[in-house]
Amino acid sequence: MNSDYYVISGIVVLALVVALVVALETGAISDIFTPIAKATTGSASPQHSQVREAVSFLNTGTFNNGGPGYTGMQRGPVYPLVLAAVFSLFGLYVGAIHIINFLFLALAIVFLWRLSKQYFKGGWEFIPPLALVLVGRATARVWVASYETLTLFLSILAIFAFLEYRSTGKTVWLVTGTAAFSLWVLEKPAAFYFIPVILVFLVLWRRPYASPKKVLTHSLIFLFVTAAFIGSWSLRNHRVIDTWQLGSGGHAVLLSSSQVDFNREELVSLGLSLSVGDFIGSRIYKHYPQNAKPKAWDPSILDDRWYQQGWYVKDIDGSIITKTELDKRMYAEAVQNIKRRPMKFLLTGIFKFMRLNAPENHRGQEITHLFVGTYLEIPTAVKAAIILFIRIIWFMFLVVVLYAMIKHIRDWSTWGILFLVIFYYNGAHALLTHALARYILVILPFYFIFFTEGVRILYGKYTEAR
């Protein structure tokens, strides 16, 4: 057992080394001792929404500098509160953000190992946390003032706790899992509609092992905990900024729905960009934008409307409205787009699914624009071969994940919760958001668990054949 702790400790140390290498390569390390007010890194500056909210909470006890409402994007309270606590301990320095982000990453690694032990033994349980460090993009997020390492940890903790609850029936694991899940929803509101799915699944999980009275009691506990966290924040938003929404989401749904107005050339270009990249796409399709990325959404939604700073903004019709009212308008416009072309909206979800599951580089950035206008000394054929090699390797990874999922499609007692999280998360983000590739990080650990299982099954078949 002690050797296991040495191994997982080594993986955490490796994560620190990889994160430092990324910081040196990107230049992020130069800002560690920089005061927040003088930060050169955009995400760590006081203009960044979550940093601004954290500093505001320290200074005024509110998330909006004591003003009438938010001036950028309204997000959940969890990460800003965490940052505020860290700033109170270490001061208003960029390095404080990096410290807490790495702490969440380290906790995610440890709990992913604990979660993997429920599925594997004999050393296989170390593959998912190792994969998270080496290919999971998480180390790059240490240097960004964003909730991603926090939600990564919360998602793993929630699933781990729910599995412990299934095994033991103990209320403490139910409360832990529900609390972690609720905090995850606060930071990623797209997971909100997963609440009834989880509740039904937990009931079906425990029904064969517990009395109806106990199942009912535990269901009420689940609802009480989610209401305490999520309901209280929704009520706060209603009272303070006149919306029941957990965070700004109208612009994301409108971006997603704007694809219903794309013409054939724009859709084909987008599909090629997401499948083979801009460099290859521009060489095999004559209508492809030259030396530019294909349009993924209507850019005016962000540039002309959403990116305006301040609580009161000017909309395209000339009216002066609050950011909350703008968010509501965008929701309404998105609904109208979907009603006009519902089938096209569903079909364009395929593109967002592709983007969500696209490979990224070591900085956690999408590689769709790789080699466009750069490295001119490298022959075109070599560039195309490199791009295809990266994408084929990533595709093979996804195939192994899918293979393991098919193998366990009937085993819902142990693998079902992973199925649900993966299916829901992909579906919700493909339809309700603009599905940036970095959004998948929060469930990538569950991909790694299925990948490990797929490799284990294939390895077993190989050894049997020998």
Per-residue model confidence as pLDDT tens digits over 39-84: 766 566 666 778 889 998 998 888 887 777 887 788 899 999 999 9
* Domain range for 98: 2-246
Q: Which of 194, 214, 246 is the last residue of a domain?
A: 246
Token pair of 152 as six digits:
């990564």
CB contact at 8 A, 222 and 178 = yes
Q: What pLDDT was estimated at residue 52?
A: 87
Amino acid at 77: P
| Residues near 43 by beta carbon (within 8 Å), at least 6 away in sequence | 51, 144, 145, 146
Task: Give the residue from 34, 70, 30 showing the smallest Cα distance to 50.
Answer: 70
Are 353 and 428 members of one domain?
yes
50 in the same domain as 97: yes
Same structural domain, 101 and 111 = yes
**23 and 78 both lie in a single domain:** yes
Tally of structural domains, the chain: 2
Q: Does 299 share its domain with 258? A: yes
- Residue 224 and residue 366 in one domain: no
Task: State the pLDDT at residue 357.
Answer: 92
Task: Answer whether 116's CB lies under 8 Å from 451's CB.
Answer: no
Beta-carbon-side half-sphere exposure of residue 39 (alpha carbons within 13 Å): 26
Same domain, 237 and 278: no
Q: How far apart are CA 458 and CA 135, in angstroms?
A: 21
What's the angle, vertex CA 10, arms to CA 7 and CA 16, rounded to 5? 150
Shared-domain flag, residues 286 and 314? yes
353/261 same-domain check: yes
SS3 for 363? coil
**What parts of the chain have a pLDDT lower than 70?**
1, 40-47, 136
pLDDT at residue number 438 = 85
- Same domain, yes or no: 234 and 327: no
Indicate the residue among 214, 229, 246 that finishes a domain.
246
| pLDDT value of residue 129 | 98
Are 139 and 228 part of one and the same domain? yes
Last residue of a domain, one of 194, 220, 246: 246
pLDDT of residue 296: 87
Is residue 426 located within the same domain as residue 367? Answer: yes
Contact 373, 453 (CB under 8 A): no
User: What local confidence, expressed as pLDDT, does residue 147 receive?
Assistant: 92
CA atoms of 212 and 113, how far apart (whole Å): 34
Question: CA–CA separation, 294 vs 286, rounded Å?
Answer: 13
CA dist 357 and 337 (Å) reads 25
